[in-house]
Amino acid sequence: MHLLPTNTKILIALVLVAAYLVIRSAYRKAKLRRQRDLDPIKRAIYNPKQFRRPRQR
């Protein structure tokens, strides 16, 4: 393989990172969509912020 100029190497690295991030976020979104179908107790475990207890006085 012939040596590529530095600019090209950086560009390829950026493209690979961008593709990786896009794929990972899409995968995570699909995973979350699947979790939403589970029962509320499990959902509370996955997303505790959604199920905050009201403050005690």
Maximal C-alpha separation, the chain? 71
Per-residue pLDDT, 31: 82
DSSP state of 49: G
Produce one character per residue of 23-42: b if its CB has 16 or more CB atoms within 10 Å, e if not.
eeeeeeeeeeeeeeeeeeee
Q: What is the pLDDT of residues 16-35, one digit of tens each?
A: 999 999 999 888 888 877 76
Mean predicted lDDT score pLDDT of the chain:
77
> CA gyration radius for the chain?
21
